[in-house]
Chains A and B, each alone.
Chain A
Amino acid sequence: KQEVTQIPAALSVPEGENLVLNCSFTDSAIYNLQWFRQDPGKGLTSLLLIQSSQREQTSGRLNASLDKSSGRSTLYIAASQPGDSATYLCAVRGNSGGSNYKLTFGKGTLLTVNP
């Protein structure tokens, strides 16, 4: 059974700092991995999707990497801003049988960027 772990559970940084969020998964047979952002009281918004054949994806100040063989992904946020404060969730999609239709989510990292 796939399990997704995110470390740290919470992170507080001063504005302008570069930071890394970590995600690990137990089954390397994945189709892809996504990073989501969740604002308080809101639904999820997809930030980046990395296919299993890719090593990284970039969008603006965000860069996500994937090491499928070691079961790890990182989300790098450059020059953090108070508007980046949110919960960031990682989710993997399996590539076999019944796991192919669904995403398995981590518990998320609560990020606070202080002005």
Chain B
Amino acid sequence: NAGVTQTPKFRILKIGQSMTLQCTQDMNHNYMYWYRQDPGMGLKLIYYSVGAGITDKGEVPNGYNVSRSTTEDFPLRLELAAPSQTSVYFCASSYQGPDTQYFGPGTRLTVL
């Protein structure tokens, strides 16, 4: 199993640009999550999904959108990038509930 994969690993955006961060898991997990981690800070939940077609907001959803059309994929969309969205983004998945989450390697995003 590849586990949780994220692409790209690094990206630099200009203010106002849009992009999609990709996340795929091959463990047939029901739950998937997107977090952001700012320097020296803990992780904050952006969005999560409990299954295909079901998504819900976390602590810091503003400026982001998600979709979950399949069990495997959970892309995160930034529509109008702002410097405040400079962060490392982690995707995670779990079979049932927020325990025992498996994390991807992260995407480091810089908005200039």
Contact = CB atoms under 8 A, between A and B. Distances in A.
Interface in A1-41: 4, 9, 32, 34, 41
Interface in A39-54: 41-46, 49
* B interface SS class: loop
Interface residues of A, number: 22
Interface residues of B, number: 23
A34 B45 CA distance: 16
A115 to B, nearest CB: 26
A72 to B, nearest CB: 17
Interface of B: 4, 40-45, 48, 50, 56, 58-59, 90, 92, 97-101, 103-106
Interface of A: 4, 9, 32, 34, 41-46, 49, 89, 91, 93, 101-108
